[in-house]
Amino acid sequence: MRLPTKIGRGLVVGAGIGGIRAALDLAETGVRVTLIDRSPYIGGILTQLDHQFPSDRCGMCRMLPLMDRDAGSQQCLRRGFYHDNIEILPGTELAELSGDAGNFTASLRGRPALVDPSRCIGCGACAEVCPISVPDPFNAGLSQRKAIYSPVPHAACAPYVIDTDACNRCGACLDACPTGAIRLMSKRREAFRILVVDDEQIVRDSLKEWLHEEEGFGVETAASGPDALKKMEAAESPYRLMLLDIKMPEMDGVEALRRAKEIDPEICVVMMTAYAAVDTAVEAMKIGALDYLIKPFETDVLIPRIVSIYGDLDADPADELLVGAVVLCGGTRLFSPAQGRNLWGHGVIPNVVTAIEFERLLSGTGPLSGGPLVRADGKPVERIAWMQCVGSRNLQIEADFCSSICCMFALKQAMLAKEKSGGQIDASIFYMDLRTYGKPYQQYRDKAEEMGVKFRRARVHSIFREEKSGDLIVRNSDYESVGHDDHFDMAVLSAGHRPMTGMAEMAEMLDIPLNPWGYMATKPLSLTRTEREGIFIGGSFGGIMDINETLIRAGAAANRASRVIHSAGGGLGEAVSETEEYRDVASETPRIMAALCNCFESNPLENNPDAAARLKADPEVAEVRSFDALCTEAGWNGLCKRIRESAPNRVLVGACLPFIHARRLKSLARETGLDPVYMEAVDIRGAGLPRHLLSMAIERLKRVEPEREPALPNHQRALVIGGGIAGMTAALAIADHGFPVDLVESSDKLGGNLNWLERTIEGETFAPLLEEMSEKVTTHPKIEVRTSATVIGASGEAGDFVSVIETAEAGPETPKHETLEHGAVILAVGGREAETTAYGHGTSDAVVTQKELETRLKKGEIDIGKLGSVVMIQCVGSREAPRNYCSRVCCAASLKHALRIREENPETAVYVLYRDMMAYGFIESYYTRARRAGVIFISYEVTGKPEVEFTEAGLIVKVHEPVIGRPLEIETDLLVLATGITPDLPPELAAGYGAKIDINGFFEEADAKWRPVDALKEGVFACGLTQAPRSVPETIATAEAAAHRVLRILCRPHLTPARITAKVRHAYCARCGQCIDACPYGARTLNPETDQIIIHPAMCQGCGACAAICPNSAAVLEGFTLAGMLAAIDAATEAEDGAGRTAQKEEAAQ
């Protein structure tokens, strides 16, 4: 039975980019989200990566909300973020989950925060005094950090944390902390009372010394069982842990345990025993002992065990949270090459680094501070080798999978190394197959080749070091020779990935099975749904993937979670942020209150009388006042009270961490009735008052224009164009939230490519999926399906699109025209197998494409039993101009067909001629299977393509076999061409909605990494083959992700512009159009009717690019007027001695 309460809350586990995406997707549609991560920071592995392929820059901020962006932070996302609907809990784990989809109870266990995050100002005084140095995991162990540290150096508001394993509890940081944020951990340990019971004096004494004097626990001892029981009864506060000897005179340990449990059932007892008495200890565990320790003790075993028991017992009690759905967005663990055989000498041979270590070496926040690479012996690094497939594609270490991202990672690093050294560094990549299977990745590889990165097809098994020169020797074999040695200065191991530590335990706890590769299993044909309804996978818990793929899956998982939450009654459409009623102060002269935090001890005004006097001298500054510790609750309340009393109409808050205070300004506004537009937060941390920053903020406050663009009406209805699996999935994903959807399909039936596709490589058939989806779509009350219908005209903006649909009702002669108004559109027009005339296709029945093969096999037109030999050629017309992209699905399709043929008739010889087998991820194991099944794979270069000859005897395929170095002639009965995928997106359709098309005819995303299904123009989305070649499950994920992007818009009755948007002063505008090109969000258009530049206020993100480029100052950014900015710049450039510009001019005149 479902509880009647609405649980409009989702839980997102893991706060890497996948988790952030899923949380934001849910939050933007009005769902409250709790985002947890077991690490003390958010951002996951990307905090360590400054450059991310394929753009080689960051751009993470592009994930931030575009609709109602004022609900969250609008700053660099790598530095941290917040959103009104998201509660972020770092250092928290999901301990338990009970209940069913729509109504889960999650127990969240946080580690006790030893540094109070609300008081830590990140000054770093604690780390300065900390005497302990340990390797810094953030820099992959290449640099040192203190036991108290900031986990991410570039984070804006990550409080310091304590590494409890390294900390020796000396207490130096306690005294150094100016805000008293560090809790008395030693007190806490002292309060954890341990009773040591042993008849031997020496055992009692040594345990007391180790546990009390060295570890700081409260330790008492007892010499016998009765003595211990007496102590227990007399104790004021109960003992938490008892270390109990088994063999004692008077009363043995087991009896003592029984009685102790009677006195205090809560007490945790660990038995101590000699090796011979382990049986008794096990008996004791049956009656309630937690564990046993074997005497004699090894301190390095004993102490960590006790500390770990302490950690478990002393953890803060788990919080219970009611959630409708759970999205698992954990990441992966990097393979450690140093484990096992370590043939590469990682950690042993200097200058052998892993990819993540190399990334940190390049980073500005890394151990070299971004300086040039040097070898361990101080010589400059001039030759670098990348070794692919370290820890991947290796059956000896049970890695029958491809780690999917390392090839692109290596390409990126090789190019970065080239760039950084001005092309001086010699970069070689040793690889087997270079898996550039993403849409723009082939071009990325081409770019690397142009830059001179060397590609060498050989797997490197081990690295040696030449003693004399200190060079690394890489022995490898190319096709031409039997092997030779190459010298390098540095070797980068492209270490693969493994399931995240603790993931298997979590899967067991959640009752989710693992797949054969050790990742969480998903349902057939879905990449996000697990066996347990209501729990979805949104990241690398289900396999290894790059940013683009992670964000798509996170979006899809968020959509699935949202549907569960919605169907459980916690629907969408509630206002994301309430519109507040504020005092109208627009017409008043500015009365600014400058509220400065005294940061516990120093009064900023007394310490800086000059600056204070200058502030006070400003006629528009009504009040300058210092407040006690604004970061504390009391300090903040004091500020609210004072504002209510003196009612200023502008407020300047000077404190540390403006990032946090910017968020708190909203609550200040709610409590004081002053619009947050009239508030500014400035960072005054450090010595003296930063006069310039204060003056700039004051100048801005004086010129605030509070006018807001009116909210726009929004058609809460979506149009999905294309009725293939992508379109059907997207339509359902929207309609299940209660919003009406129009689905338009140009052919006479739904299903698209699913009508001819038979099954996946895993063996899942598509027919049931097609039937189920067609049924659902056609019977859904909120979906209106139009077949034989096309969009013949389209225009409009987010929230207000108009499309004209032509439906051939009785036939093409009698078309019906309809006009639809909708708030958003999804282009799901799909794609098709590319046509070709290569290799004699079209001239012979024996030459077919993959689609033709699949169709014929499905219809039973091909008798596999009669085939003597089959040749498959990959990359036909692909991965070279004019279709220079990888179609991603063809290698898997060939493996699928090859395996099927070999299974049905082992006598049929199958040859696959390939360039790089794109068997990414788990497809690799099918590649292994095909090799095992006797399929012969022959690689060819684009410069030496196979040739086909039609003879009387039959078809002969000629190809150069590189390994044995000779031409081959293969007589074949069937030649199968993998021609790849071309999109079906008509340019005029894309243009009608303002979407761009890339050079290959696919939909162009706003950002290949960060906004994978969005057009640059808000309100227009794409999924499936329209966007890029993908498999069916991957297509379904893009469709759900796109649907959720649409829901962000549909869930609002009105589109409200954000606080800071651009405006046009039409009188000054020369209609030059520069601002239209400059706008990175496509918010500006020229209205031909009025001949005016118009801005879509909901699409404008307030970046100011238009204001900067406009030659006439006709483009202005609200809150950043020209006068205000100039005054702020004046204030900033004033000389330190108080002499202003005028003074300098006078000097110049003299």
Partner 1 sequence: MKTAQKNPPAHSVHSVHKTPTNPPDILAPVREMIQACIQCGTCTGSCPNAFAMDISPRGMWRMVIMGEDESITEELFNTKTFSLCSSCYTCTLRCPRGLPLTDAIQALKRIQTRHYPEKAKKNIHFYASFLESVRRHGRVRETEFMTLFFLSMKNPFLPFSFAPLAIRLMAKGKVKPGFPSAGNGALDPIFQKARELEASS
Residues that bind partner 1 (CB under 8 A): 341, 343, 389, 393-396, 432, 457-462, 475-478, 481-483, 868-869, 909, 911, 928, 931-934, 936-937, 939, 954, 956, 961, 963-973
938, 833 contact by CB (below 8 A): no
* Phi and psi based region of residue 22 (left: phi greater than 0; alpha: psi -120 to 50; beta: remaining): alpha
| Nearest approach, Cβ of residue 908 and partner 1 (Å) | 9
Which among 280, 274, 242, 272 is positioned nearest to 259, based on CA atoms? 242
Q: 100 has which bridge partners?
A: 103
Nearer to partner 1, 462 or 602 (CB): 462
- CA-CA distance, 717 to 406, in Å (whole number)? 42
Burial of 973 (C-beta count, 10 Å sphere; 0-12/13-18/19+): middle
Buried b / exposed e along 894-906 (16+ C-beta atoms within 10 A): bbbbbbbbbeebe
- CA-CA distance, 366 to 1134, in Å (whole number)? 35
| Nearest approach, Cβ of residue 973 and partner 1 (Å) | 6
For the four alpha carbons of 223, 227, 228 and 232, in that order, the dihedral sign comes to negative
Give DSSP secondary structure letters for 903-943: HH-TTSEEEEEESS----TTHHHHHHHHHHTT-EEEE--TT
Question: Which spans in 264-331 are helix H?
Answer: 278-286, 299-314
Nearer to partner 1, 502 or 868 (CB): 868
894, 864 contact by CB (below 8 A): no
| Nearest approach, Cβ of residue 912 and partner 1 (Å) | 12
| Nearest approach, Cβ of residue 464 and partner 1 (Å) | 11
1051, 30 contact by CB (below 8 A): yes
What token pair was written down for 157? 């508001």
| Nearest approach, Cβ of residue 925 and partner 1 (Å) | 11
Nearer to partner 1, 285 or 432 (CB): 432
What token pair was written down for 374? 């040097």
| Nearest approach, Cβ of residue 164 and partner 1 (Å) | 40
* Cα distance between the two ends of the chain: 89
- CA-CA distance, 640 to 667, in Å (whole number)? 10
| Nearest approach, Cβ of residue 376 and partner 1 (Å) | 24
| Nearest approach, Cβ of residue 928 and partner 1 (Å) | 6
| Nearest approach, Cβ of residue 497 and partner 1 (Å) | 16
In the DSSP assignment, the letter for residue 169 is: -
Neighbours of 165 (CB within 10 A): 9
| Nearest approach, Cβ of residue 331 and partner 1 (Å) | 25
- CA-CA distance, 247 to 537, in Å (whole number)? 52
| Nearest approach, Cβ of residue 932 and partner 1 (Å) | 5
- CA-CA distance, 184 to 649, in Å (whole number)? 42
Q: In what order do the strands lie in the sheet containing 650-655?
A: 621-627, 592-597, 650-655, 679-683
Nearer to partner 1, 239 or 344 (CB): 344
- CA-CA distance, 787 to 899, in Å (whole number)? 37
Nearer to partner 1, 150 or 869 (CB): 869
Nearer to partner 1, 393 or 553 (CB): 393
Specify the 3-state DSSP secondary structure of 770: helix
Mode of pairing for the β-strands spanning 824-827 and 718-721: parallel
Q: 958 has which bridge partners?
A: 947, 969
What token pair was written down for 893? 């399709």
1020, 993 contact by CB (below 8 A): yes
Nearer to partner 1, 459 or 832 (CB): 459
For the four alpha carbons of 998, 1003, 1004 and 1009, in that order, the dihedral sign comes to negative
Question: Which spans in 103-239 are helix H?
Answer: 125-129, 172-176, 185-191, 201-208, 225-234
H or E element in which residue 699 lies: helix 691-702
Q: What are the helix and strand counts (H, E) for the chain? A: 30, 55
| Nearest approach, Cβ of residue 390 and partner 1 (Å) | 10
| Nearest approach, Cβ of residue 948 and partner 1 (Å) | 14
Nearer to partner 1, 370 or 868 (CB): 868
| Nearest approach, Cβ of residue 198 and partner 1 (Å) | 50
Cα-based distances in Å from 464 to 388, 425, 471, 476, 975: 17, 21, 8, 12, 45
E-state strands within 915-1002: 936-939, 947-950, 955-961, 966-972, 974-977, 981-983
| Nearest approach, Cβ of residue 940 and partner 1 (Å) | 13
| Nearest approach, Cβ of residue 958 and partner 1 (Å) | 8
| Nearest approach, Cβ of residue 496 and partner 1 (Å) | 12
The secondary structure of 543-568, three-state, reads: CCCCHHHHHHHHHHHHHHHHHHHHHC
Q: How many residues make up the chain in this entry?
A: 1150
